[in-house]
Structure 1
């Protein structure tokens, strides 16, 4: 792989995921608002509508990983793009006038479940294809570009979704979300198939894979709670406080995320993931603390920016080390299992945050994120104190 073609491939990956992931990003801050303001249902159901897509993602991760490893990583993510389109159209049907709140909510849940399947197939298939095409030596760069594109999409998609919702309604957001995945299909339709690795040794079971990476996975789970509550409730939090610039909060999160990936994206490959994750979690903790205690919207916005800066590098830092532990023929399954830990955070944090918001306040949801980030620091510190480098060759599968 030449240096020029590497840059071209990573650029194509970034552009395609950025544009395609707008399908997810535009809907994320709008779903809970739609459930609360249009369907007049409680916050916890808004959280369920946000989180249920990640339950579907969790349940389909093993299938997606096996599909990418044994059949076709390209077909895996192309199917994911298709599910994105269908899911948005189903969600759009939830806004049909004349439907009862319960029927609309049920339709919305079906659409969000389909979105979760698309999320699983896309975010397992596309990095797996690039691991095969570019080689695992570039796994850190691949994961950094992937995450930068995804959260860059949140930086743009959040305010775009809220603006469309404000002026044209929920159905306009879903219509736009159904169109943008077509870009990903067009960009990769002519890309070559890359044959999966042939099994050279007995594969370990999926659950044994999970046990071998649980510390790295739990770090990602605890990191993801802060992002999940921010994505689901920052708009409602700002509205409840009477603050302006709710959409800017999501943008600042995304900007912080992208800046961190640009400046520090190569660090996990150079110095290892544990050190990078520790510093990142400290920054996220400060950001969540500011959101929780902010007396003014400016400090809350700063908290959103710091949360993005902190969250950014934790996933690739842990992911690079996980990839090093896994034999080539199981990288898709292992990556799917690793990503599943983050899905757990996204699936359950929003519903739990909704319960917290109903019983206490929207600001209390960020206390939840603060505590989770502190828990992540404790786990990462234990890796350092016990001197257990996760790239130990003795643990290679």
Structure 2
């Protein structure tokens, strides 16, 4: 079978696979909260539980996904991830189309989120390790920027299309797309060449990875609570304020802000450091505050755009100290451990956010996300301090693994 020879183009194809998969995720994030609250009649707390179920399954499968990529190659990992994502879409379609009982439908949705979470873990990890293996680790920051653009273009498209179709053509259209899109990813997987793997050198333990990456990871996790809050509660917040007709645009502005930031600042990912990280966190925090205290939908839309713009560069900027903290042959474990912090952020936002909304209302959950951004700035400072001046402790630990 034909394989793409140009590594840059091949890496772009991997990013396209991620785009397809994340569009599926965006569709589910937009439609499931609406379906659960409006069609099944459950509260925001149960919406949060659905988000938490996906986050937990992704979190607990991250290490396995990283090891699978290191030992079997990212191509095989991507195939497995797409297969699970396709199954998750089929279960959602079945729930929406054939189940009348709210309890049974909710249970099927929970199960589909577990499948989606595991598939998401494999796809996210392999979307990083595969292009890094093709292009080279020295370009890791730029690759993370490409991956992020594909990710949030997919989220923006999925969120907008899911919200629009829910109100204009029904949820079945989105559910069908959630089942069909992952199948398209297999076509791209088939034409991208695999990369070399060295399973005999993968001796690092998960505890070692956590020890090396927790500072960068905690900053990433805290910052991403803003993302989870936007995707889970923004549409419901707009509906409560009778702004529902503009909710899809508000979600899309978040994705647009993310992409604009990557296009304008992504080229600096490998050379910038703590200053740009702190700047990005400050922009995200200001956007969350605007949403919390907005009295007009346009103010909340601006806040959504700023949140996306600020969050955008945090992923690659904190990925650099995380990846530099691990040996080259353990890049899959390093990336999966770092990305597991994204799931922790979703988990905290899902559980704490649902409770905060139930007790204090929707503005309070955006204030909570703002406070988490402030804590993320502290973690970022610690992460960059760890790798400054070569980190002699890290050099000794890397040597002991070789």
TM band (smaller chain): over 0.9
SS at match of 2:125: helix
User: How far has the Cα of 1:252 moved from its partner?
Assistant: 0.5
Q: Which runs of 4+ in 1 moved over 6 A?
A: none
Q: TM-score, normalised by structure 2?
A: 0.93
Maintained 8 Å contact 2:287/2:306 = yes
CA distance in 1, matches of 2:301, 2:159: 14
Distance between the aligned counterparts of 2:231 and 2:128, measured in 1?
24
Work out the CA distance in 2 between the residues paired with 1:239 and 1:140.
38
CA distance in 1 between counterparts of 2:119 and 2:60 reads 12
Residue of structure 2 in register with 1:307 after alignment: 307
Within a 5 Å distance, the mapping from 1:1-397 to structure 2 comes to 5-97=6-98, 99-200=100-201, 203-243=203-243, 244-272=245-273, 274-382=274-382, 387-389=385-387, 392-394=390-392, 395-396=394-395, 397=398
> What's the offset of the Cα at 1:271?
2.5
The structural deviation recorded for 1:60 is: 0.6
- Distance in 2, matches of 1:7 and 1:391, equals 32
Note the alpha carbon deviations across 1:41-64, whole angstroms, 9 max, x for none: 111101111221111001111111
C-alpha spacing 1:241/1:391, structure 2 compared with 1 (3 Å): farther
CA distance, structure 1, for counterparts of residue 190 and residue 267 of structure 2: 29
**Counterpart Cα distance in 1 of 2:130 and 2:34:** 36
Structure 1 residues 284 and 320 mapped into 2: Cα distance closer, same or farther (>3 Å)? same
TM-score, normalised via structure 1 length? 0.94
2: CA distance, partners of 1:156 / 1:393: 41
What is the CA-CA distance between 1:349 and the residue it aligns to? 0.7
Greater CA drift, 347-356 or 139-148: 347-356
User: Cα offset for 1:182?
Assistant: 1.9
Q: Do the aligned partners of 2:235 and 2:248 also contact (CA within 8 Å) in 1? A: yes
Say whether the 8 Å CA contact 2:62–2:121 is kept in structure 1.
yes
Q: Per the alignment, do residues 330 and 7 of structure 1 end up closer, same or farther by CA in structure 2, a change over 3 Å counting? A: closer
Secondary structure of 1:190's aligned partner: coil
Say if 1:49 and 1:109, in contact at 8 Å, map to a contact too: yes
Structure 1 residue 393 displacement after superposition: 4.9
Cα separation, partners in 2 of 1:375 and 1:367, compared to 1, 3 Å: same
Call closer, same or farther: CA 1:88–1:98 in 2, change over 3 Å.
closer
Cα displacement (A) at 1:170: 2.4
CA distance in 2 between counterparts of 1:218 and 1:10 reads: 28
Aligned residues: 390
In 2, Cα distance between equivalents of 1:174 and 1:117:
19
Is 1:57–1:116's contact at 8 Å kept on the other side of the alignment?
Answer: yes
Cα drift, residue 95 of structure 1: 1.7
Gaps of 5+ in 1: none
